[in-house]
Amino acid sequence: MGGAGPATAVPVRDAEIVADIIRRAAAALAEAGCDTPRLDAELLLMETLGWSREELYTRPETTLDASEAERFEALVARRRRGEPVAYLIGRREFWSLDFSVTPAVLIPRPETEHLVEAVVDFLASRPEPQRILDLGTGSGAIAVSVARECAGAEVWATDVSAPALAVARENARRHGVDRRIDWFQGDLFAPLRGLPVSFDALVSNPPYIPSREMARLPRDVGAWEPVLALDGGTDGMDFYRRIVRDGTPRLREGGLLALEVGDGLAGLVSELFRAHGGLRRVRVLRDYAGLPRVVAGERTQASGTVSRPDPAPGVVSG
Ligand SMILES: C[S@@+](CC[C@H](N)C(=O)[O-])C[C@H]1O[C@@H](n2cnc3c(N)ncnc32)[C@H](O)[C@@H]1O
């Protein structure tokens, strides 16, 4: 949503039916610069009425009572000011699962499903039990999805943000995998300091927006999503440097390092992987649009790696 559209309310008219309410709300959202006005109007009305999409199509003649109309008008007004639909309705689908989201977490993006896919495919050929680390878990989208797919995997998830970890835990509970995920609060690997653990896969979708570009982000993103989840330092590479340097020694031999990459960063991140010397089979995975989306590599002979057996997880927070 780019335009600074007026934030005035769009009142639902007396006896106005659902089909017309959606049409007028969509027009108002389009006027405010919303990219997907019809979809957003539908989602906001479904939220207001507690309806499924099917009900939206099979009950177009329904009218709203006064409190429903008031709630819908308030949601549309907030959306017109740029607030993302996912925050307004409190959830977003990812990996065909319903995730709770709050403004404390990045709204999970469909692109990140490629990262989940890469890890799940890789783990299919690794002996169990497996241990996976998700750095900067946010809503828990990656950790929860991997835990759901890989029944033999124990997942560790970290985030510097305590409110984000609370959301991630709720999502893990909702999807029945909370007991297979250990949560750690702190700066990247800091919570693991002193724990001689190693991983079959280390995965992250780190903050990667170059600081100077933060002010130019689309309003839906820049004004609403957490800076902590976005700002990747001067060139967007801060987290990649730290994760490759400190994460590679945490991998078991042959273990996977897989990182989502921002626009234009795949080459630089691949270079980092190659320059490290401890990673082989470095490759760039593309998304359905053909864009570079994930850089992956596997741990070479793991001298200096913490070997099995590892102690049980100890530091749990969130
Ligand atoms: C781009 S978001 C990714 C969230 C989630 N994994 C996803 O893919 O939707 C990056 C996450 O890293 C977390 N983060 C930022 N700085 C961090 C740090 N120094 N240590 C650990 N996590 C950090 C943020 O709080 C945020 O949840």
**What is the CATH number for 63?**
1.10.8.10
Best of 159, 259, 294 for a ligand 1 pocket test (most atoms within 8 Å of beta carbon)? 159
- The answer on 257 and 161 residing in a single domain is yes
Query: What CATH number did the domain enclosing 240 receive?
Result: 3.40.50.150
Spatial contact of 312 and 195, defined as CB atoms under 8 Å apart: no
pLDDT of residue 308: 44
Q: pTM of the full predicted structure?
A: 0.91
pLDDT of residue 8: 65
Q: Is 243 in the pocket of ligand 1 (CB under 6 A)?
A: no
- The answer on 222 and 127 residing in a single domain is yes
Residue 224 lies in a domain: yes
**Which residue, of 89, 119, 139, is where some domain finishes?**
89
pLDDT of residue 309: 39
In total, how many domains does the chain have? 2
- The answer on 141 and 28 residing in a single domain is no
Q: Is 285 in the pocket of ligand 1 (CB under 6 A)?
A: no
Strand partners, 176: none
pLDDT of residue 124: 94
Q: Is 82 in the pocket of ligand 1 (CB under 6 A)?
A: no
User: Rounded to 5 degrees, what are φ and ψ at 282?
Assistant: -75, 130
Nearest CA to ligand 1 atom 14: 136
Q: How far away, in angstroms, is 36 Cα from ligand 1 center? A: 27
- The answer on 180 and 40 residing in a single domain is no
Nearest CA to ligand 1 atom 24: 229
Residues of the chain scoring pLDDT < 50: 2-6, 305-318
- The answer on 107 and 250 residing in a single domain is yes
Residue 262 lies in a domain: yes
- The answer on 134 and 43 residing in a single domain is no
Residue 77 lies in a domain: yes
Ligand 1 atom with the smallest distance to the CA of 161 is 25
Q: Is 318 in the pocket of ligand 1 (CB under 6 A)?
A: no
- The answer on 208 and 267 residing in a single domain is yes
Residue 129 lies in a domain: yes
Residue 253 lies in a domain: yes
Q: Is 48 in the pocket of ligand 1 (CB under 6 A)?
A: no
pLDDT of residue 270: 98
pLDDT of residue 4: 43
- The answer on 142 and 81 residing in a single domain is no
pLDDT of residue 7: 54
Ligand 1 atom with the smallest distance to the CA of 107 is 9
- The answer on 161 and 37 residing in a single domain is no
pLDDT tens for residues 68-101? Answer: 999 999 999 999 999 999 999 999 999 999 999 9
How would DSSP label each residue in the chain? --S-------PPPTT-BHHHHHHHHHHHHHHTT-SSHHHHHHHHHHHHHT--HHHHHH-TT-B--HHHHHHHHHHHHHHHTT--HHHHHTEEEETTEEEE--TTSPPP-GGGHHHHHHHHHHHTTSPSSEEEEEES-TTTHHHHHHHHH-TTEEEEEEES-HHHHHHHHHHHHHTT-GGGEEEEESSTTGGGTT----EEEEEE----B-GGGGGGS-HHHHTTS-HHHHB--TTS-HHHHHHHHHHGGGEEEEEEEEEE--TT-HHHHHHHHHHHSSEEEEEEEE-TTS-EEEEEEEE-S-TTPPPSPPPPP-----
Residue 51 lies in a domain: yes
- Return d(Cα 253, Cα 170) in angstroms, integer: 33
Residue 279 lies in a domain: yes
The domain in which residue 35 lies consists of: 18-89
- The answer on 113 and 28 residing in a single domain is no
Q: Which residues contact 312 (CB under 8 A, 6 or more apart)?
A: none
- Return d(Cα 285, Cα 28) in angstroms, integer: 39
Ligand 1 atom with the smallest distance to the CA of 115 is 8
